[in-house]
Each structure stands twice: as structure tokens, then as C-alpha cells.
Amino acid sequence: MSLSSLIFSIFFSILSMDADRVIPDKADFRTAFRVLNPSIRTQQQSEVVMPAMEIINQKFGRLTVIGQSESIGRYAAWECKCECGNTKIVKGVFLRKGKTKSCGCLQGERKNDLLGQRFHRLLVVSKFHKVEGDKKRIHWLCKCDCGNTTSTKASHLINGNVKSCGCLMRERHTKHGHCKTITKNKRQRKSRTPTYITWECMIQRTTNPNNPNYQKYYGIRGITVCDRWRIFSNFFEDMGERPSLKHKLERRENNKGYSKDNCTWSTHKEQMNNTRRNHILEWQGKRMNIGQWAEELGINYVTLATRVQRGWPMEKIMTQPIQVRNK
């Protein structure tokens, strides 16, 4: 007899001995196992429902928990009071994970305060009301990087549905052919060249606050893109085709933004020689980092870096012969 047959035979023999516990006809093995083992269900509920005293009076975003409410499904629910004065019933898991931070007023304020904010190519310049049917809707007038103006709803800007006045879509179908929409088997996909991908990544990390690199290295430091390069055709005219997949867009001066005067195509090795964390050594009128000096003198990089770390004089660092140990 196989192991699975043995398990099912034991299971149904136990089930027949316990006549008080009835399992529905469509219940699977997992449901039946929980009926026969109530301790497992109690353990799961204890993991979901938090003790009331541990969460009451705690603050999550704008919400303060004031009491426990009826459970929503298998999740504990809590009555919360918002800073604006409204109350809201929220699942405990949403509070802990930060998915719910207010009664809804926070999102409303974000939609009502877009002046001066940038969304991709659009800069919000003013707000006005537009009649749609029997209701008045708030629309935002935006100025595009190409110079045109357009109006749209706040939700379209925040969700990224509208990124330009329409010039972005036109560029994707222009003669340069670096970004095309290909239809195959009734499915559409984008085909982008390495040059276009490089330009698109540059725009994202300098203008999009949701981009991880914006918060770490670029936008938060004030690194920007010149107005001319916000349009791909201008960027392509100044920089030309990306030489190879090993080449990337490099800024000569790390504290300045992206422009024709400050950018060049370079390999990864060349870029590493221009990072802020490099240790620059000056000797005999030359200024190079440790890696460049190691290549220049024919000395192992680790050996040269160890000498610097030990505080040797510059002359000794560069001229001390390497001792070969006898085996």
C-alpha cells in the first residue's frame, strides 16, 4: 500500500469514529483536517487578531485607533479617528503595513495641491473647473517641455496615464526609429534601442521621485537634465548613437547635471575612475586614483591600497619594490 493510500485510510477511519463532526461534501482534505484539529484554526486566528490593548490609542499616519470593530472576513477591524475629524473602519493588517493612512482626506489633498509639481514632461501651472455633463470637474493646466500646454485630471497625472501633451507619443513614431510599437499576434509591445533606453533611464532617475535612484543618487542631490535633453531627438543629435552595450552615459563632473558639455559615452571601467568614493593620489605632477596608479606602475591594486591605508609616504608608496617570498 502506498503512503498516500495509508494516510487517506487512516483519515476516513478517524472521521467515521467521530459522528458529531460532519464535513461538507465539497470540502477538501485541508478543510477536513482543520475540522478534526480545532487547535490549528485557533492558532491562525491568534496570529491575525491582535490584542485590543496593544493597538488602541496607537497612531498610524493620520489615523488614531479608538476601539475595536467587527471583524472583516478573517481580519480584525478597528475604528479609527482621522486628524480631519472623520472616523473610518480599517483592517488591522492595512494599518500595520501602512496601506491606509487616513480616512481618504490625504489623497484628496494630494489631488488638490498639484501646483508647481512635475509629472514626467508636464509642469502643473494652474487649476480650473471644467463642466462634464451635469457636474464640474477639477482640471489642471500643464505646460509641456516642448512648449505646448494641455489640461487633464489629477488622477491621470498621479497615475501616470498622461505624461505629455502628446509629443511623447509622436516621438515614438518619428523617423529616428529608436522607439516603435510593434504589433505581433494581436499584441503590442515596445521596441527600444539601447540609446533610447539610456535616455529614458536618465529622465526617470532625475525627474521621477518614485524611482529608487532618484532618492539615492540623483534627484535628491539636485542632479537635473537640461531643458534641451528632455526631448529625445535633441539628446540624440548632441550625443549620437550609443557606441556599444559596454558604454554608458557619464557625467564628467559628478555634482553637475546632464548636458552636452558635461556628458560623454564611457565604459564601466572609465566610469569607476570618476566616482566620488575614489581615493586620488598625486605624485610627480599626476593625479590619478589607486586603480589607475596600479595599472600605471604595474603593482597589484590591493598592494597599493594597503600601502595607502598604512599611511606610507607618497614616495615609498610608489617606489617600494615588491618583495617576493620564498616558498
Listing DSSP states for 145-166 in one string gives TTS-EEEE-HHHHHTTS--SSS
What local confidence, expressed as pLDDT, does residue 42 receive? 42
pLDDT single digits (tens) 98-140: 888 888 777 766 656 788 888 888 999 998 888 777 777 788 8
pLDDT single digits (tens) 211-244: 888 888 888 888 899 989 988 888 988 998 888 8
pTM here? 0.40
* Residue 122 CB coordination number (10 Å): 25
Q: Please list the ranges in the chain whose pLDDT falls under 50.
A: 18-28, 32-33, 35-36, 38-50
The span from the CA of 107 to the CA of 101, in Å, is 10
Closest by alpha carbon to 83, among 112, 61, 99, 58? 61
The span from the CA of 211 to the CA of 17, in Å, is 61
With cell 477591524, the residue in question is: 77
The span from the CA of 283 to the CA of 279, in Å, is 13
The span from the CA of 310 to the CA of 38, in Å, is 66
What local confidence, expressed as pLDDT, does residue 143 receive? 92
Over the range 43-55, which residues count as b (16 or more CB within 10 Å of their CB) and which as e? eeeeeeebeeeeb
Helix (H, G, I), strand (E, B) or coil at 26: coil
